[in-house]
Every structure is written in structure tokens, then in C-alpha cells.
């Protein structure tokens, strides 16, 4: 305390001895100074607190502004409703993420099938509302064909008369009493070229095995209606034959045939089919003998299978190609063709009329979609009964409009492709999809630097392969430029019956396919329709294709949260990119690589998938699905890394409201949603794993999934060990 205050006048006052006069005199001044100091401290503290409180509020505001916001657009509301309807949030995601995302999946169509049907609904809307469009002559034919296809009243009124006319053009048959014994090869040539039916073998154009832009004719085994197997129980075989016999007899009756003759001819037709089937060799046997495909000339095939006039039949089918005896063919199973030829020769000597009936009965089955409801119902009933006998799930029944959309799309693809692009794949959508693909591709290139089993040379070549890759997105060049798709279809004659329109379209399509192969194409020929939902990688052209039909809700939309687009469409893109390197994973496919590390990673992958439980009665071959499993498990990892990199560069991420999922949780949910499918619809010959494994396999291998869903150690989705392949 300052001494000046001790010299004041209050020192002259007297106070009791027991108390200090100084303390007594100075107390009021000391109290004044202490209170002021405390007030200042309180004010300073209050100011600091206010600043801290204000900054905290500001930080909270900033974080809320920059953090994920609910997406309120109509597209997001639709997606949210889709997720809520399909999932089952009562299931713990760490225990069964497939059920969490897909529900029990019973009666659920696969996500790809559901998207394909939605695309067909869009095409239906286009085809049923032509008034708002300025159509050219060719486009108008597409709309006319669709209209005649859905006009079931006219088709029913025509009855079997159009089909009887076709049979007469082929020479008739004994079943109806009128039969002209035409030359066998002339009839076969007509069936192949005018009706698109191949009773004894299939022939089609494909790219040459070593010259991808050069067409070659491939000869394959026929497609059998009977679901026969090399090793089949006699009881099942007898039931299948009985059902097929009843079906053929029903066809003959619908065509006015004598019941006794119909039964006899139907039985001998089945006998011919059964013998042809016995000539087939298992695929494994052909691979073991290294005779999966053989190159032979038409002349050489004529010597080995003389019953068929190969040059005349193929020339008629593939006009305007100019074929000669020295023309090379790709043959799938030469032994089958030799035995088939011998059987045909025997039938021609003994049962020429039965051979004719066999071909016509097969043609009627092929044409059933263009016939009236009685023929269609006979076909549908056969298929359902055969699926029951072979313990396959029932075939879903499609509405008439959907079948008509499919047929119109097949015959008038250029027109419908351009219309679909205009309707469903705007420049904004294409730009956003290409931006997503670029992010996936760049992430893969960066990730290849850390693949442990690759040597430096292979790594550099792999990165170059990705860099040089072409990408086709949306549709072919002519679909993206509608003016190029306005074909006139001058060779298509519509009417007088729907069957005649159908057959005219069959001939026109075949001619266009041949003409397409004969043109010098520097670019890739698309193998899927523009509205299709299948992406693929072409080895011969080193191009990856993503059709517009795949880049649609719920897989992709420019207005979706990025987590959805990366988790769904991004994972699909990465999956297809990894197929560039499938050859490296095969035995001996990468001699310079660290074989021990690669085989260890593949073995780990097999064991990882085998450790995941499946529904009872469902099993799979891990070796058969290995390449697809590798692409699945790597595809999700690449897409997640690409998404994480994008989060570091861009703000404004959104989420779906009312789902209680963070952006990264939404990423995983979106991937799983793509794989939703009823397990019972999975077929053992499918190169992909069952749908539950396609979800649990990749996601349980990712530590990020367990971290973001807080899965306890040892849970199904948080195993003790993981595999690193890509």
C-alpha cells in the first residue's frame, strides 16, 4: 500500500489500543480499491467469456454450414423413400449389412433388373406419346410397330392364319395333310435367312479373334428348348420329355393338325433333339483338348459335315457378304457338327417328313411372341413346368407392353437410342458421370503404385494401360447425335398382320447387322443397348462402356449426394476398370510379379469369402467367381478412396434426410443397394458370387466400414484379418 495514504489527517484521530489505527483509517480506501480491481477482473472475465461464447456459436454455425446438409431435392426424396422401403434398420449393420440395406430380399428383384424395367417404362412413355415429337419416316415406323404389337385385339382376331401362311411358304407339313417335299437345304436356308431360326446349329457374325475389326462367321451349337443335362436322373428326364411332348402336341392342335399325326411327329421331333443333345461335349472336355474354337474353311467344313450346304445357307443368311469356299469360319465344336450331319443324312433317307415337322415345330416356338395368346400361353406354361422340374425359380410374367418395348428396341435401336438419350441423359448428367469416372480412374492409377505383388515394370505398364483406356459413356456416337440415328428402314414392310411385320423386322435387323460389320469401323461397336444396365470392358478395343441406362437413379444422378454416386456408380466403374488386369490374376498371367505375394493375396481372398455364412441350401464355387470377387473387393476400395479424396477438395457434402447415416455410411449403403437381389434367383453358373457375398465380402474386408459403423472386433463385418489384393 502507498505510504502517502499514511500521512493523511485521519492519523490524528484516537482509536482503542487493541486495534490498528492505520488499518481502521485506511479500510474504506482499501475496500474501494479492491472492489474496483475485482470489478475490472469480472468485466475482463465476462468479456473473455462473451468472446469465447460468441466464437463457439460462430464455430458451431460454421461447422453446421460446412458439414453435411440434408438434400431436399425431389431426386433425393425419391432415393430416401427407396432406401427406407428396401432396407431393414432393425438389423444390426455389423451383423448382417445385406439385410440392413436390402431387407430380407424375398420377392425382391435385383437392383439391376429393377433399373432395367424402369428404363423400359421410360421407353414406353416415349412410344405412347409421339404427339409431342417431330418424327421422320423411320422414327414413325418404330411407333407404328409398337402400336401394332400392343394391339392384342387385332392379333387375337388374326388367329393362326398368319402362321399357317408361313408354314405353306416353307412347303407345309404332314401334320396338316398338305406337304410339298422341298429340298432340305433350301428349307434350312429359308429358316436361317428369312425367319432367323437355326434348328441344328447357330451362325452369327463376330469380330475376328486376332483382327477385332474384321468380321468372321462363328458356328455354335444350337439352343435347345429342353433343359437337358449330361448327367440327369432318368425320372427327371422322363418328366421333361413328357412335358415337352404335351407342348408340341398342343402346338400341332392349335394349327389344326390330326391328333394322331401330331403325337407321332412330336415324339420323333423330341427324339431328334435328344440325339443332337447327346452329341454335345462338356466345355471342360473341349478346354482340356484345346479345341474350344477351331478355324476351318467352308470347303473343309463341307467335307466334314456334308449334309448341310454350308456355302448356300451361309451366303443367304449373311448377304451382302460375298462368301467363297475358302472363307474362314470359327467353329465352336467340330465334333458336334460332324455327328449332326450324319444324323440329318439318316433322317433324310428314312424320315424326311418328320425332319420337316421338327424344323417347323421349332420355328413355331421361336415365333410364339408374335402369335396370339393361345400360342404364348402354351410356351409360358412349358417354361414354368420345366423350371419346376429343374428346381429353378419361376419365370416372372412380363406385361405385354414390356415385351413390345423389348421387340421395338431390338428392331429400331438407332431410333430408340437417340430418343432415350434425349429423355434421360442430358449433357449435365453426362458431364457429371464423366467427372466421376475421371476421379475413379485417377485414383486407380495412384493406387497401382502401392500394389504389393506388382514389379516396377508391370506397375508402369498397368498405369499406362489405364491412361490409354478409352471410355464410352451414354450411347454410341450416332445416339448422341440424333441426326445420325434417323434411319429410314426402307426394307421394313409393316402389315398386313403383326407376324408379317415382326418377320420383316427380323430380316431388316439381320441385314443391318451384316452391313454394320462390313463397314470400316475405327471405333468400338457397342455390345449393349443405350438403355441397357450392363457395363463392360472390351479387351480387343481396350475400351470400357457405361450405357446411359446404367447411369440413372438410384445408381446415379447429378443431384445426389456424392456419397451415393461414388458408392453405387463409382464402384461399378472401378469394378470394370479392374477387369483390365484380370489376366494378371490367372496362373502364369504375370511371370515378373511377386508370385508368392500374389498367390497369397488370392488365397486370402478365397478364404475370406468362404468364411462368410450363406443362407441354407446356397453354395458357390470360389474358384469360378474369383475374378469377379477380386473386381468387387477392389472396386469398392478404389471408389471409397476416390470419394475420400474428393471430400478433402470440395465442401458442401449432403446426406439423405431421416436415414441417420453419415456421408461415409451412406457410401457403403449405396454400394450395398446396387447388389440387392433375392438370393434364390442366383444361378450356380453365374460368374459373380451370390448377392449376400457381393455385399459382405468387399465391405467386411474394409477397416473403414467397421470404423464408421462402430463394429466390435470379431463381428461379421469386422473380422480379425483382411486381404490386400488391389
- Rounded Cα–Cα distance for residues 385 and 241 (Å): 11
- Tell me the three-class secondary structure of 46-68, residue by residue: HHHHHHHHHHHHHHHHHHHHHCC
- Tell me the three-class secondary structure of 565-631, residue by residue: HHHHHHHHHHHHHHHHHHHHHCCCCCCCCCHHHHHHHHHHHHHHHHCCCCCCCCCCCCCCCHHHHHH
Return the closest-CA partner of residue 628 out of 607, 600, 609.
609
Exposure string for 684-707, b = 16+ CB within 10 A, e = fewer:
eeeebbbbbbbbbbbbbbbebbbe
**Which helix or strand (DSSP H or E) is residue 470 part of?**
strand 470-474
Exposure string for 80-110, b = 16+ CB within 10 A, e = fewer:
bebbeebbeeebebbebbbbbbbbebeebbb
Catalytic residue list contains 377: no
Assess contact for 567 and 655: CB atoms under 8 A.
no
Return the closest-CA partner of residue 609 out of 585, 637, 633.
633
Assess contact for 546 and 639: CB atoms under 8 A.
no
- Rounded Cα–Cα distance for residues 541 and 553 (Å): 29
**Which helix or strand (DSSP H or E) is residue 411 part of?**
helix 400-411
- Tell me whether strands 654-655 and 69-70 are parallel, antiparallel or unpaired: parallel
Catalytic residue list contains 576: yes
Radius of gyration of the chain (CA): 36
The CA distances from residue 70 to 295, 436, 571, 657, 663, in Å, are 61, 21, 23, 5, 10
DSSP state letter for 680: G
Active-site residue, selected from the candidate residues 576, 628, 653, 660: 576
In sign, the C-alpha dihedral spanning 89, 91, 97, 103 is negative
Question: How many CB atoms are closer than 10 A to CB 47?
Answer: 10
Active-site residue, selected from the candidate residues 413, 628, 632, 653: 632
Enumerate residues 6+ apart whose C-beta is below 8 A from 140.
Answer: 130
Enumerate residues 6+ apart whose C-beta is below 8 A from 507.
Answer: 193, 194, 196, 491
DSSP state letter for 655: E
**Which helix or strand (DSSP H or E) is residue 654 part of?**
strand 654-655
Alpha carbon 44 to its chain centroid, in Å, reads: 67
Active site residues: 576, 632
Amino acid at each position: 500500500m502507498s505510504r502517502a495514504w499514511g500521512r493523511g489527517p485521519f492519523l490524528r484521530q484516537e482509536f482503542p489500543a487493541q486495534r490498528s489505527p492505520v488499518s481502521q483509517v485506511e479500510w474504506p480506501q482499501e475496500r474501494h480499491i479492491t472492489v474496483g480491481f475485482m470489478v475490472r477482473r469480472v468485466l475482463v472475465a465476462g468479456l473473455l467469456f462473451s468472446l469465447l461464447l460468441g466464437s463457439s456459436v460462430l464455430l458451431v454455425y460454421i461447422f453446421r454450414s460446412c458439414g453435411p446438409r440434408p438434400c431436399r431435392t425431389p431426386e433425393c426424396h425419391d432415393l430416401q423413400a427407396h432406401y427406407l422401403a428396401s432396407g431393414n434398420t432393425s438389423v444390426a449393420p455389423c451383423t448382417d449389412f445385406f439385410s440392413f440395406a436390402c431387407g430380407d430380399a424375398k420377392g425382391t428383384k435385383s437392383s439391376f433388373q429393377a433399373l432395367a424395367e424402369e428404363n423400359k417404362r421410360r421407353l414406353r412413355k416415349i412410344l405412347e406419346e409421339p404427339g409431342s415429337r417431330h418424327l421422320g419416316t423411320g422414327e414413325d415406323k418404330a411407333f407404328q410397330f409398337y402400336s401394332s404389337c400392343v394391339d392384342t385385339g387385332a392379333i387375337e382376331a388374326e388367329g393362326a392364319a398368319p402362321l399357317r401362311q408361313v408354314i405353306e411358304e416353307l412347303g407345309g407339313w404332314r401334320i396338316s395333310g398338305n406337304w410339298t417335299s422341298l429340298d432340305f437345304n433350301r428349307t434350312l436356308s429359308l429358316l436361317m435367312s428369312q425367319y432367323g431360326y437355326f434348328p441344328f446349329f447357330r451362325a452369327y457374325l463376330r469380330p475376328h479373334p486376332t483382327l477385332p475389326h474384321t468380321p468372321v462367321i462363328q458356328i455354335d451349337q444350337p439352343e435347345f428348348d429342353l433343359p437337358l443335362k449330361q448327367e440327369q436322373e432318368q425320372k427327371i428326364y422322363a418328366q421333361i420329355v413328357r412335358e415337352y411332348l404335351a407342348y408340341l402336341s398342343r402346338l400341332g392342335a392349335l394349327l389344326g393338325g390330326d391328333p394322331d399325326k401330331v403325337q407321332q411327329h412330336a415324339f420323333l421331333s423330341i427324339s431328334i433333339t435328344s440325339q443332337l443333345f447327346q452329341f454335345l461335349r462338356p466345355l471342360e472336355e473341349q478346354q482340356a483338348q484345346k479345341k474350344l474354337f477351331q478355324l476351318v474353311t467352308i470347303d473343309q467344313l463341307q467335307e466334314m459335315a456334308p449334309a448341310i450346304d454350308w456355302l448356300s445357307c451361309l451366303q443367304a443368311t449373311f448377304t451382302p457378304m460375298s462368301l467363297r469356299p475358302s472363307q474362314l469360319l470359327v467353329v465352336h465344336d467340330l465334333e458336334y457338327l460332324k455327328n449332326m450331319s450324319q444324323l440329318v443324312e439318316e433322317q433324310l433317307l428314312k424320315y424326311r417328313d418328320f425332319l420337316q415337322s421338327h424344323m417347323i415345330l421349332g420355328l413355331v416356338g421361336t415365333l410364339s411372341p408374335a402369335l396370339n395368346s393361345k400360342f404364348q400361353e402354351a410356351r409360358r406354361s412349358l417354361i414354368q413346368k420345366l423350371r419346376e422340374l429343374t428346381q429353378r425359380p419361376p419365370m416372372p410374367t412380363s406385361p405385354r407392353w414390356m415385351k413390345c418395348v423389348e421387340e421395338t428396341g431390338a428392331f429400331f435401336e438407332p431410333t430408340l437410342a437417340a430418343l432415350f438419350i434425349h429423355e434421360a441423359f442430358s449433357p449435365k448428367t453426362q458431364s457429371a458421370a464423366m467427372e466421376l469416372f475421371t476421379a475413379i480412374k485417377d485414383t486407380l492409377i495412384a493406387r497401382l503404385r502401392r500394389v504389393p505383388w506388382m514389379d516396377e515394370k508391370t506397375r508402369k505398364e498397368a498405369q499406362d494401360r489405364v491412361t490409354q483406356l478409352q471410355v464410352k459413356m451414354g450411347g454410341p456416337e450416332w445416339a448422341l447425335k440424333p441426326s445420325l440415328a434417323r434411319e429410314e428402314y426402307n426394307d421394313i414392310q409393316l402389315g398386313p398382320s403383326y407376324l408379317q411385320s415382326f418377320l420383316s423386322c427380323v430380316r431388316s435387323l439381320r441385314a443391318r447387322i451384316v452391313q454394320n460389320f462390313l463397314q470400316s469401323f475405327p471405333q468400338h461397336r457397342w455390345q449393349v443397348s443405350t438403355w441397357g444396365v450392363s457395363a463392360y470392358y472390351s479387351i480387343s478395343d481396350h475400351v470400357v462402356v457405361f450405357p446411359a441406362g446404367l447411369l440413372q437413379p438410384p445408381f446415379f444422378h447429378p443431384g445426389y449426394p456424392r456419397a451415393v454416386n461414388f458408392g453405387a456408380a463409382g464402384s461399378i466403374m472401378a469394378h470394370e476398370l479392374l477387369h483390365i488386369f484380370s489376366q494378371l490374376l490367372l496362373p502364369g498371367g504375370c511371370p515378373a510379379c511377386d508370385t508368392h505375394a500374389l498367390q497369397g493375396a488370392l488365397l486370402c481372398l478365397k478364404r475370406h469369402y468362404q468364411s462368410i455364412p450363406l443362407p441354407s441350401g446356397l453354395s458357390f464355387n470360389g474358384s469360378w467367381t474369383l475374378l469377379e470377387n477380386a473386381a468387387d473387393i477392389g472396386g469398392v476400395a478404389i471408389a471409397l478412396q476416390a470419394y475420400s479424396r474428393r471430400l478433402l477438395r470440395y465442401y458442401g457434402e449432403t446426406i439423405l434426410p431421416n436415414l441417420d447415416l453419415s456421408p461415409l455410411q451412406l457410401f457403403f449403403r449405396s454400394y450395398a443397394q446396387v447388389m440387392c437381389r433375392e438370393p434364390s434367383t442366383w444361378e450356380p453358373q453365374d460368374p459373380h458370387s451370390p448377392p449376400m457375398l457381393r455385399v459382405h465380402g468387399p465391405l467386411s474386408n474394409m477397416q473403414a466400414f467397421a470404423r464408421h459403423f462402430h463394429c466390435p472386433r470379431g463381428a461379421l463385418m469386422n473380422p480379425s484379418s483382411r486381404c490386400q489384393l488391389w
